[in-house]
Protein backbone atom coordinates (compact mmCIF):
# COMPACT_ATOMS: atom_id res chain seq x y z
CA UNK A 1 0.00 0.00 0.00
CA UNK A 2 1.42 3.44 -0.93
CA UNK A 3 1.59 6.44 1.42
CA UNK A 4 -1.70 7.89 0.17
CA UNK A 5 -3.45 4.56 0.76
CA UNK A 6 -2.07 4.31 4.29
CA UNK A 7 -3.15 7.92 5.04
CA UNK A 8 -6.67 7.23 3.72
CA UNK A 9 -6.94 4.10 5.85
CA UNK A 10 -5.86 6.00 8.97
CA UNK A 11 -8.39 8.78 8.30
CA UNK A 12 -11.17 6.19 7.80
CA UNK A 13 -10.33 4.43 11.07
CA UNK A 14 -10.27 7.74 12.92
CA UNK A 15 -13.60 8.82 11.47
CA UNK A 16 -15.22 5.50 12.39
CA UNK A 17 -13.91 5.75 15.94
CA UNK A 18 -15.22 9.30 16.22
CA UNK A 19 -18.68 8.31 15.03
CA UNK A 20 -18.77 5.35 17.42
CA UNK A 21 -17.89 7.60 20.34
CA UNK A 22 -20.45 10.27 19.42
CA UNK A 23 -23.58 10.51 21.54
CA UNK A 24 -26.23 12.90 20.29
CA UNK A 25 -27.00 15.85 22.60
CA UNK A 26 -29.56 14.95 25.24
CA UNK A 27 -29.17 11.21 24.72
CA UNK A 28 -28.60 9.05 27.77
CA UNK A 29 -25.44 6.98 27.83
CA UNK A 30 -26.19 3.36 28.70
CA UNK A 31 -23.77 1.04 30.44
CA UNK A 32 -22.99 -2.23 28.71
CA UNK A 33 -23.12 -5.78 30.12
CA UNK A 34 -21.37 -6.26 33.44
CA UNK A 35 -21.54 -2.50 34.06
CA UNK A 36 -23.51 -0.77 36.77
CA UNK A 37 -27.09 -0.07 35.69
CA UNK A 38 -28.57 3.36 36.16
CA UNK A 39 -31.12 3.43 38.98
CA UNK A 40 -34.53 4.73 37.94
CA UNK A 41 -35.63 6.23 41.24
CA UNK A 42 -39.36 6.76 41.22
CA UNK A 43 -39.17 8.72 44.46
CA UNK A 44 -37.17 11.49 42.76
CA UNK A 45 -39.42 11.64 39.70
CA UNK A 46 -42.55 11.56 41.88
CA UNK A 47 -41.24 14.54 43.87
CA UNK A 48 -40.85 16.58 40.68
CA UNK A 49 -44.37 15.72 39.52
CA UNK A 50 -45.89 16.53 42.92
CA UNK A 51 -44.24 19.95 42.89
CA UNK A 52 -45.91 20.64 39.54
CA UNK A 53 -49.27 19.38 40.85
CA UNK A 54 -49.07 21.52 43.98
CA UNK A 55 -48.38 24.62 41.93
CA UNK A 56 -51.29 23.84 39.61
CA UNK A 57 -53.65 23.26 42.57
CA UNK A 58 -52.70 26.63 44.05
CA UNK A 59 -53.40 28.33 40.71
CA UNK A 60 -56.72 26.49 40.37
CA UNK A 61 -57.82 27.63 43.83
CA UNK A 62 -56.77 31.22 43.20
CA UNK A 63 -58.29 31.53 39.73
CA UNK A 64 -61.43 29.36 40.01
CA UNK A 65 -61.96 28.64 43.70
CA UNK A 66 -61.73 24.91 42.96
CA UNK A 67 -60.15 22.44 45.38
CA UNK A 68 -59.61 18.87 44.12
CA UNK A 69 -61.39 16.39 46.41
CA UNK A 70 -60.43 12.75 47.02
CA UNK A 71 -62.00 10.11 49.26
CA UNK A 72 -60.25 6.84 50.06
CA UNK A 73 -62.46 4.06 51.44
CA UNK A 74 -60.73 1.38 53.51
CA UNK A 75 -62.50 -1.78 54.61
CA UNK A 76 -61.02 -3.70 57.53
CA UNK A 77 -57.57 -3.51 59.10
CA UNK A 78 -55.13 -4.98 56.64
CA UNK A 79 -51.77 -3.44 57.71
CA UNK A 80 -50.47 -3.00 54.16
CA UNK A 81 -53.73 -1.41 53.01
CA UNK A 82 -53.86 0.86 56.06
CA UNK A 83 -50.31 2.07 55.39
CA UNK A 84 -51.07 2.67 51.71
CA UNK A 85 -54.29 4.58 52.41
CA UNK A 86 -52.56 6.74 55.03
CA UNK A 87 -49.88 7.61 52.49
CA UNK A 88 -52.53 8.58 49.93
CA UNK A 89 -54.39 10.80 52.39
CA UNK A 90 -51.18 12.43 53.59
CA UNK A 91 -50.06 13.17 50.03
CA UNK A 92 -53.47 14.63 49.14
CA UNK A 93 -53.35 16.98 52.12
CA UNK A 94 -49.76 18.04 51.33
CA UNK A 95 -50.84 18.98 47.83
CA UNK A 96 -53.74 21.08 49.10
CA UNK A 97 -56.55 18.66 48.24
CA UNK A 98 -59.77 18.23 50.18
CA UNK A 99 -59.23 14.72 51.51
CA UNK A 100 -61.43 12.20 53.31
CA UNK A 101 -60.27 8.84 54.63
CA UNK A 102 -63.36 6.75 55.30
CA UNK A 103 -62.50 3.59 57.27
CA UNK A 104 -65.14 0.91 57.67
CA UNK A 105 -65.19 -2.41 59.59
CA UNK A 106 -64.47 -5.60 57.64
CA UNK A 107 -67.97 -6.88 58.35
CA UNK A 108 -69.66 -4.01 56.49
CA UNK A 109 -72.34 -5.39 54.19
CA UNK A 110 -72.06 -5.11 50.45
CA UNK A 111 -75.25 -3.05 50.38
CA UNK A 112 -73.87 -0.58 52.91
CA UNK A 113 -70.61 -0.22 50.99
CA UNK A 114 -72.51 0.42 47.77
CA UNK A 115 -74.59 3.04 49.58
CA UNK A 116 -71.38 4.69 50.80
CA UNK A 117 -70.00 4.81 47.25
CA UNK A 118 -73.28 6.33 46.07
CA UNK A 119 -73.03 8.98 48.78
CA UNK A 120 -69.64 10.12 47.47
CA UNK A 121 -70.83 9.87 43.86
CA UNK A 122 -73.32 12.59 44.75
CA UNK A 123 -70.93 14.87 46.67
CA UNK A 124 -69.82 17.66 44.27
CA UNK A 125 -66.77 18.48 46.40
CA UNK A 126 -65.46 14.94 45.85
CA UNK A 127 -63.88 14.47 42.42
CA UNK A 128 -62.15 11.15 42.98
CA UNK A 129 -63.28 7.97 44.74
CA UNK A 130 -60.85 5.20 45.59
CA UNK A 131 -61.95 1.95 47.22
CA UNK A 132 -58.86 0.18 48.53
CA UNK A 133 -58.53 -3.40 47.29
CA UNK A 134 -58.67 -6.23 48.16
CA UNK A 135 -62.12 -6.28 49.72
CA UNK A 136 -63.46 -8.92 52.16
CA UNK A 137 -64.63 -12.12 50.48
CA UNK A 138 -68.32 -11.43 51.13
CA UNK A 139 -68.18 -8.30 48.94
CA UNK A 140 -68.19 -8.46 45.15
CA UNK A 141 -65.28 -6.24 44.04
CA UNK A 142 -66.57 -5.93 40.49
CA UNK A 143 -69.95 -4.69 41.68
CA UNK A 144 -68.27 -2.05 43.87
CA UNK A 145 -65.98 -0.83 41.09
CA UNK A 146 -68.95 -0.61 38.73
CA UNK A 147 -70.78 1.53 41.28
CA UNK A 148 -68.18 4.30 41.12
CA UNK A 149 -69.06 6.93 38.53
CA UNK A 150 -66.55 6.69 35.64
CA UNK A 151 -65.82 10.43 35.97
CA UNK A 152 -64.78 9.87 39.60
CA UNK A 153 -62.92 6.60 39.00
CA UNK A 154 -59.42 8.01 39.51
CA UNK A 155 -57.99 4.48 39.85
CA UNK A 156 -58.97 3.86 36.23
CA UNK A 157 -60.60 0.46 36.87
CA UNK A 158 -64.19 1.12 35.74
CA UNK A 159 -64.96 -0.79 32.50
CA UNK A 160 -65.80 2.51 30.78
CA UNK A 161 -62.35 3.88 31.56
CA UNK A 162 -60.65 0.59 30.65
CA UNK A 163 -62.40 0.66 27.27
CA UNK A 164 -61.43 4.27 26.63
CA UNK A 165 -57.82 3.40 27.47
CA UNK A 166 -57.86 0.57 24.94
CA UNK A 167 -59.01 2.80 22.09
CA UNK A 168 -56.48 5.49 23.00
CA UNK A 169 -58.92 8.00 24.48
CA UNK A 170 -58.45 7.49 28.22
CA UNK A 171 -59.83 9.85 30.84
CA UNK A 172 -57.84 8.18 33.62
CA UNK A 173 -54.92 5.81 33.26
CA UNK A 174 -54.53 3.16 36.00
CA UNK A 175 -52.09 4.62 38.50
CA UNK A 176 -49.30 2.04 38.57
CA UNK A 177 -49.05 1.60 34.77
CA UNK A 178 -49.28 5.40 34.46
CA UNK A 179 -46.32 5.68 36.82
CA UNK A 180 -44.34 3.11 34.85
CA UNK A 181 -44.98 4.95 31.60
CA UNK A 182 -43.98 8.28 33.15
CA UNK A 183 -40.73 6.77 34.50
CA UNK A 184 -39.85 5.44 31.06
CA UNK A 185 -40.58 8.74 29.33
CA UNK A 186 -38.76 10.92 31.87
CA UNK A 187 -35.70 8.65 31.86
CA UNK A 188 -35.37 9.10 28.10
CA UNK A 189 -36.02 5.43 27.34
CA UNK A 190 -36.73 5.05 23.59
CA UNK A 191 -40.17 3.52 23.12
CA UNK A 192 -40.96 4.00 19.43
CA UNK A 193 -40.44 0.62 17.79
CA UNK A 194 -38.92 -0.84 20.96
CA UNK A 195 -39.48 -4.47 21.91
CA UNK A 196 -41.36 -4.30 25.21
CA UNK A 197 -42.06 -7.48 27.16
CA UNK A 198 -44.54 -7.43 30.04
CA UNK A 199 -44.43 -10.34 32.48
CA UNK A 200 -47.86 -10.64 34.10
CA UNK A 201 -51.37 -10.07 32.75
CA UNK A 202 -53.26 -8.62 35.71
CA UNK A 203 -56.06 -6.11 35.20
CA UNK A 204 -54.19 -3.70 37.47
CA UNK A 205 -50.77 -3.66 35.77
CA UNK A 206 -50.03 -6.13 32.97
CA UNK A 207 -52.98 -5.61 30.65
CA UNK A 208 -53.18 -1.81 30.94
CA UNK A 209 -49.45 -1.14 30.54
CA UNK A 210 -49.40 -3.34 27.44
CA UNK A 211 -52.33 -1.40 25.96
CA UNK A 212 -50.75 1.95 26.88
CA UNK A 213 -47.34 1.27 25.35
CA UNK A 214 -48.75 -0.03 22.07
CA UNK A 215 -50.78 3.16 21.46
CA UNK A 216 -49.73 5.36 18.54
CA UNK A 217 -48.38 8.25 20.60
CA UNK A 218 -45.13 9.80 21.81
CA UNK A 219 -45.24 7.75 25.03
CA UNK A 220 -45.94 4.50 23.20
CA UNK A 221 -45.54 3.08 19.69
CA UNK A 222 -43.77 0.02 21.08
CA UNK A 223 -44.11 -3.60 19.96
CA UNK A 224 -45.50 -5.32 23.05
CA UNK A 225 -45.43 -8.97 24.12
CA UNK A 226 -47.24 -10.18 27.24
CA UNK A 227 -45.98 -13.27 29.09
CA UNK A 228 -48.13 -15.13 31.64
CA UNK A 229 -48.48 -18.42 33.49
CA UNK A 230 -49.19 -20.35 30.28
CA UNK A 231 -46.26 -18.90 28.31
CA UNK A 232 -44.10 -21.84 27.21
CA UNK A 233 -40.70 -20.15 27.33
CA UNK A 234 -40.67 -16.87 29.25
CA UNK A 235 -36.90 -16.48 28.91
CA UNK A 236 -37.13 -16.61 25.11
CA UNK A 237 -39.27 -13.48 25.23
CA UNK A 238 -37.53 -11.61 28.07
CA UNK A 239 -34.09 -12.06 26.45
CA UNK A 240 -35.19 -10.02 23.42
CA UNK A 241 -36.81 -7.18 25.38
CA UNK A 242 -35.42 -3.67 25.05
CA UNK A 243 -37.77 -2.79 27.90
CA UNK A 244 -38.76 -5.48 30.42
CA UNK A 245 -41.69 -4.75 32.75
CA UNK A 246 -42.24 -7.33 35.47
CA UNK A 247 -45.46 -7.65 37.48
CA UNK A 248 -45.56 -11.38 38.15
CA UNK A 249 -46.18 -11.37 41.90
CA UNK A 250 -43.28 -13.77 42.53
CA UNK A 251 -40.20 -12.62 44.44
CA UNK A 252 -37.05 -12.49 42.27
CA UNK A 253 -38.72 -14.36 39.42
CA UNK A 254 -36.57 -12.71 36.75
CA UNK A 255 -32.91 -13.72 36.97
CA UNK A 256 -29.93 -12.06 35.36
CA UNK A 257 -29.68 -14.64 32.58
CA UNK A 258 -33.24 -13.80 31.50
CA UNK A 259 -32.38 -10.17 30.67
CA UNK A 260 -31.06 -8.81 27.37
CA UNK A 261 -27.77 -6.91 27.85
CA UNK A 262 -28.51 -3.18 27.95
CA UNK A 263 -32.25 -3.58 28.58
CA UNK A 264 -34.29 -1.24 30.76
CA UNK A 265 -35.90 -3.23 33.58
CA UNK A 266 -38.98 -2.02 35.43
CA UNK A 267 -39.80 -4.02 38.57
CA UNK A 268 -43.40 -3.52 39.67
CA UNK A 269 -43.37 -6.31 42.28
CA UNK A 270 -43.40 -5.82 46.03
CA UNK A 271 -43.09 -9.06 48.01
CA UNK A 272 -42.65 -9.41 51.76
CA UNK A 273 -39.96 -12.03 52.38
CA UNK A 274 -39.56 -11.69 56.14
CA UNK A 275 -38.88 -9.23 58.93
CA UNK A 276 -35.79 -7.38 60.08
CA UNK A 277 -34.50 -7.64 63.65
CA UNK A 278 -36.40 -4.39 64.31
CA UNK A 279 -39.63 -5.95 63.04
CA UNK A 280 -39.75 -4.05 59.76
CA UNK A 281 -40.83 -5.79 56.57
CA UNK A 282 -38.15 -7.11 54.22
CA UNK A 283 -39.21 -6.41 50.66
CA UNK A 284 -38.10 -7.94 47.39
CA UNK A 285 -39.24 -7.17 43.89
CA UNK A 286 -40.12 -9.61 41.11
CA UNK A 287 -36.60 -9.11 39.72
CA UNK A 288 -33.37 -10.50 41.21
CA UNK A 289 -31.92 -7.01 41.52
CA UNK A 290 -28.21 -7.71 42.02
CA UNK A 291 -28.07 -10.13 39.10
CA UNK A 292 -30.12 -8.04 36.70
CA UNK A 293 -28.38 -4.77 37.54
CA UNK A 294 -25.16 -6.26 36.11
CA UNK A 295 -26.84 -6.86 32.76
CA UNK A 296 -29.38 -4.04 32.39
CA UNK A 297 -28.61 -0.45 31.42
CA UNK A 298 -31.25 0.90 33.81
CA UNK A 299 -33.38 -0.68 36.53
CA UNK A 300 -35.90 0.32 39.20
CA UNK A 301 -35.10 -0.53 42.83
CA UNK A 302 -37.57 -2.05 45.29
CA UNK A 303 -38.58 -0.15 47.32
CA UNK A 304 -38.23 3.36 45.88
CA UNK A 305 -38.86 2.57 42.23
CA UNK A 306 -42.38 2.24 40.88
CA UNK A 307 -44.14 2.47 44.28
CA UNK A 308 -43.83 6.24 44.87
CA UNK A 309 -45.10 6.88 41.34
CA UNK A 310 -48.42 5.12 41.94
CA UNK A 311 -49.70 7.56 44.58
CA UNK A 312 -48.41 10.52 42.59
CA UNK A 313 -50.31 9.49 39.45
CA UNK A 314 -53.44 9.03 41.60
CA UNK A 315 -53.07 12.68 42.58
CA UNK A 316 -52.61 13.66 38.94
CA UNK A 317 -55.79 11.78 37.99
CA UNK A 318 -57.72 13.48 40.80
CA UNK A 319 -56.59 16.91 39.63
CA UNK A 320 -57.74 16.02 36.12
CA UNK A 321 -61.12 14.84 37.48
CA UNK A 322 -61.59 18.16 39.28
CA UNK A 323 -60.92 20.08 36.08
CA UNK A 324 -63.24 17.89 34.04
CA UNK A 325 -66.02 18.29 36.61
CA UNK A 326 -65.74 22.05 36.24
CA UNK A 327 -65.55 22.20 32.46
CA UNK A 328 -61.85 23.06 32.34
CA UNK A 329 -59.89 21.75 29.36
CA UNK A 330 -57.40 19.01 30.21
Q: Give the separation between CA 55 and CA 53, rounded to whole angstroms.
A: 5
Of 86, 75, 88, the C-alpha closest to 117 is 75
* Inter-CA distances, 27 with 175, 189, 220, Å: 28, 9, 18
Backbone CA torsion sign across 43, 49, 55, 60 = negative
- Relative to beta strand 38-39, strand 298-299 is parallel
The catalytic residue positions are 88, 132, 155
Specify the pTM: 0.87
Cα 88 to Cα 101: distance, rounded to the nearest angstrom: 9
Show pLDDT as tens, one digit a residue, over the chain (330 residues): 554 444 444 334 343 344 333 333 323 344 544 567 999 999 999 999 999 999 999 999 999 999 999 999 999 988 878 888 889 999 999 999 999 999 999 999 999 999 999 999 999 999 999 999 999 999 999 999 999 999 999 999 999 999 999 999 999 999 999 999 999 999 999 999 999 999 999 999 999 999 999 999 999 999 999 999 999 999 999 999 999 999 999 999 999 999 999 999 999 999 988 888 888 888 899 999 999 999 999 999 999 999 999 999 999 999 999 999 999 988
Amino acid sequence: MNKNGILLALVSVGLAAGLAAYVRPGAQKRKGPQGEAKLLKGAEVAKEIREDIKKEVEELKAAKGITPGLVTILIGQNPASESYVRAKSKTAEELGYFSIQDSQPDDISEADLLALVDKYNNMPEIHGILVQLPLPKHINEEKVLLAILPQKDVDGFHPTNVGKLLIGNANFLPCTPYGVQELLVRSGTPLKGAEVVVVGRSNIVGKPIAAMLMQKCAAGNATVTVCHTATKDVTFHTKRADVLIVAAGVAEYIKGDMVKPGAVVIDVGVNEVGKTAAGKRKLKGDVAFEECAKVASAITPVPGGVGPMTITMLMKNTLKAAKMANGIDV
